Amino acid sequence: MPEQRIEEAMALTLASFPRVRAANLPTPLQELTRFRKEIGGPRLFMKRDDNTGLALGGNKARKLEYLMADALAKKCDVVITTGGPQSNHARMVAAMARQLGMEVILLLTGDEPREWKGNLLLDRILGAQVIFAGTKDYDLIHPRMESMAEELRQQGRNPYVIPVGGATPIGSLGYVQAVLELVGQSVEAGINFDYLVSATGSGGTMSGMLVGARLFAPHLKVVGISVSRPRAALTQRLSNISEATAALLGVDLKFPPEKLAVFDEYIGESYGVPTPEGLEAIKLLAQTEGILLDPVYTGKAMAGYIDLVRKGYFPETANVVFFHTGGAPALFAMEEYFR
């Protein structure tokens, strides 16, 4: 088949998956000219996935359109998921569950913080049942979610369990779709994009982008800035999820871990702990463009982007899209860092 026909066939396959239309799509794409004047580098565009809607927005909305459609198809009445106390994913699961008339249980990492701020406050307002796991180890938390689900089944309920970040092949379809959306915007604007830059945590978002780029924009290079996992562990995980996502779409694609563009030098002390460079990036974007990044994901990713620009990683003639994956609600739990 000619390339065009394969792309059309893949777009149809993607469209055949059940999807709850809950996010405000397409999200805007805007050029960051004032910010670029400060940092240099190639033309830079921002894909505003912080504007997806769904109780303050973020990248999880796209994944949840597919995951929650799966939950609906299975007639589930309660959703269980996990994340950190400032999890954007948990907050958006809560919002989407409420919108669909389901209950929601959040098994969050660690112990109950003294104050309920940011996303945690929103979880409470959304009426989620919040339980603190007393551990940060997802290898312990995931089986606990399964046993909670089993207990609920015995009570006649029908739970749907979503792993951390919604990082499953079904969830990743949301970012295959996002690349298709971006390709449409690229044609409309008459600009060819060469790089996608994004924060990567659980890996579901970047995996979807990798598959989407391979299918719909083969010249597009996906660059991930890790916010938690070291490079080796993350690239293996990305490879697994990407290949499984492709398989779900009925295509056999390979994503060798060593070929993936992943940077792990911007994590800082650990996941969730802001870095000085990340905080500077947040302030610089806010003060040049009026756009709010977050301290856990997008601030660190932007700090990584700035550093890569300084190192000459991107050709001056390239067009780069930075995916703003959301997260600003966590700013309200980080007051101390901005005083």
Catalytic residues: 87
For the chain, how big is the Rg over CA atoms in Å?
19
**Per-residue binder mask for ligand PLP (CB under 6 A), 204-223, x = binder:** xxx-----------------
Instruction: Please state the closest distance from residue 48 (CB atom) to ligand PLP, in A.
Output: 12
- Considering only the stretches 180-188, 266-274, 293-301, 304-312, report the one whose residues sit in contact with ligand PLP under the rule CB under 6 A: 293-301
How far is 205 from 222, CA to CA, in rounded Å?
Answer: 11
- Considering only the stretches 11-19, 98-106, 148-156, 322-330, report the one whose residues sit in contact with ligand PLP under the rule CB under 6 A: 322-330
How far is 92 from 73, CA to CA, in rounded Å?
Answer: 19
Task: Figure out which of the listed residues 27, 200, 242, 275 binds ligand PLP, where binding follows CB under 6 A.
Answer: 200
Q: Report the site for ligand PLP in 76-105 (rule: CB under 6 A).
A: 88-89
Tell me which H or E stretch contains 298. Answer: helix 298-310
Check binding of 263 to ligand PLP (CB under 6 A).
no
- Do residues 238 and 206 lie in contact, with contact meaning Cβ atoms separated by under 8 Å? yes
Cβ proximity to ligand PLP: between 29 and 152 the closer is 29
Burial of 271 (0-12, 13-18, 19+ CB in 10 A): middle
Which conformational region is residue 133 in: left (phi greater than 0), alpha (psi within -120 to 50 degrees), or beta? alpha
Instruction: Please state the closest distance from residue 237 (CB atom) to ligand PLP, in A.
Output: 9
Check binding of 274 to ligand PLP (CB under 6 A).
no
Structural tokens at position 65: 């359109």
Chain residues binding ligand PLP by CB under 6 A are: 58-60, 88-89, 165, 167, 199-206, 294, 297-298, 325-327
